[in-house]
Amino acid sequence: MTFALCDPSTAQGYVVESVYTRIPDPKISLTEKGKAQAEACGNKIKQMIEIEHGQHWQVYFYVLPYRRTLQTLQHVARPFERSRTVGFREEPHIRSHSKVNFQNREKMRVEKALRQLYGCFFYRFPNGESAADVYDRITGFKETLRTDINIGRYQAPEERKIEMNLVIVSHSLTLRVLLMMWYKWTVQQFEGLNNFGNGNMLVMEKGHGGRPIDVKLREKRHL
């Protein structure tokens, strides 16, 4: 089983920061550029799977139920034929850390500077959350994954010869926290990680003896 982690593509809030002052974070949409990025990401995932598994594969999606992540999923999934897509599941556990309901731009600049001084894992935004809070929440998603795999949600036992690929569409910080939990990284290692770029993905693979292969994230963008 292969996991592909996908960051939402360019959203309105990344282009015009003031959007966060008037539109709730879960309702912010993708830009046209973001939609194109998402579809390009879907093509990359499909090509990677085809090279790895030939014709015997299918895909299942987990997605954060924010408008821009659902739109990302819609465009990521476009390159996949209907017969290849087993289904998708909205999963609120994989949301990023809440900052505030409507953001004050000047206050947020101060808070982000303070977070860099304090440490990005434990720093909690006023009326918001920290990456440590996301870590606690991701534990619930880990159990969801385990249950879905064990009960055969993706495919019936007689179809287990088909390689199943799971794609998780969420925000970069959440995906970094998931990787931290998966690979047993320390807080210091987490704080040295770099975020995904918008519309980019990372593939989690098994190495020798089924052990997970360690990964590094390159682009430095603390969101």
Question: What pLDDT is attached to residue 98?
Answer: 83
- Percent of the chain residues topping a pLDDT of 90: 38
Q: Kindly state whether residue 104 falls inside one of the protein's structural domains.
A: no
Residue 160, number of CB atoms within 10 A of its CB: 11
Question: What pLDDT is attached to residue 156?
Answer: 66
Separate counts of helices (H) and strands (E) for the chain: 7, 5
Question: What pLDDT is attached to residue 93?
Answer: 92
Q: Tens digit of pLDDT for each residue in 34-65?
A: 899 999 999 999 999 999 888 889 999 999 99
Domain count, the chain: 1
Q: Kindly state whether residue 125 falls inside one of the protein's structural domains.
A: no
Dist. CA 198–CA 182, nearest whole Å: 22
Dist. CA 32–CA 38, nearest whole Å: 10
Q: Kindly state whether residue 142 falls inside one of the protein's structural domains.
A: yes
Q: Kindly state whether residue 182 falls inside one of the protein's structural domains.
A: yes
Strands 163-169 and 2-6: parallel
DSSP code of 57?
A: E
Q: Kindly state whether residue 168 falls inside one of the protein's structural domains.
A: yes
Q: Kindly state whether residue 105 falls inside one of the protein's structural domains.
A: no
Nearest partner of 137 among 104, 192, 91, 87, judged by Cα: 91
Q: Kindly state whether residue 150 falls inside one of the protein's structural domains.
A: yes
CATH number, domain with residue 62: 3.40.50.1240
Q: Tens digit of pLDDT for each residue in 73-118?
A: 999 999 999 999 999 999 999 998 887 777 778 888 899 899 989 9
Q: 94 lies in which domain range?
A: 2-98+130-210
What would the mean pLDDT of 198-202 be, rounded to a whole number?
A: 75
Q: Kindly state whether residue 171 falls inside one of the protein's structural domains.
A: yes
Dist. CA 112–CA 136, nearest whole Å: 22
